[in-house]
Amino acid sequence: MRILFLGDLVGRTGREAAAAALPVLRERLAIDLAVVNAENASHGFGLAPDMAAALFAAGADVLTLGNHAWDRREILPYISESPRLIRPLNFPPGTPGFGSIVVDVSGGRRALVLNAMGRLFMDALDCPFRGTAQELAKHRLGGTVAAIVVDFHAEATSEKMAFAHSFDGQVSFVVGTHTHCPSADHTVLPGGTAFMSDAGMCGDYDSVIGMAKEGATTRFWRKMPGERLAPAEGEATVCGVFVETDDATGLARRIEPIRMGGRLSQAMPVT
Domain extent listing, the chain: 2-260
Q: Rounded mean pLDDT of the chain?
A: 96
As annotated, the active-site residues are: 68
C-alpha span between 56 and 271 (Å, rounded): 25
C-alpha span between 219 and 65 (Å, rounded): 26
- Give mean pLDDT, residues 98-113: 96
- The band of 271, judged by pLDDT with boundaries at 50, 70 and 90, is confident
For the whole model, what pTM was predicted?
0.96
- Run of H or E residues at 23: helix 11-28
Residue 137 has pLDDT above 80, yes or no: yes
Architecture in CATH of 2-260: 4-Layer Sandwich (3.60)
C-alpha span between 38 and 19 (Å, rounded): 11
> If we measure between CA atoms, which residue out of 85, 72, 203 comes closest to residue 151?
85
Q: What are phi and psi of 33, to 5 degrees?
A: -140, 125
**Cβ 156 vs Cβ 201: under 8 Å:** no
Report pLDDT for 222: 85
Q: What are phi and psi of 93, to 5 degrees?
A: -55, 140
**Cβ 145 vs Cβ 171: under 8 Å:** no
- Give mean pLDDT, residues 99-110: 96
- Give mean pLDDT, residues 67-95: 96
Residues contacting residue 226 through CB under 8 Å, at least 6 positions apart: none
- The band of 211, judged by pLDDT with boundaries at 50, 70 and 90, is very high
**Cβ 195 vs Cβ 186: under 8 Å:** yes
Report pLDDT for 79: 97
- Give mean pLDDT, residues 214-219: 89
Task: Compute the half-sphere exposure of residue 199: CA atoms within 13 Å on the CB side of its CA.
Answer: 34
Residue 223 has pLDDT above 80, yes or no: no
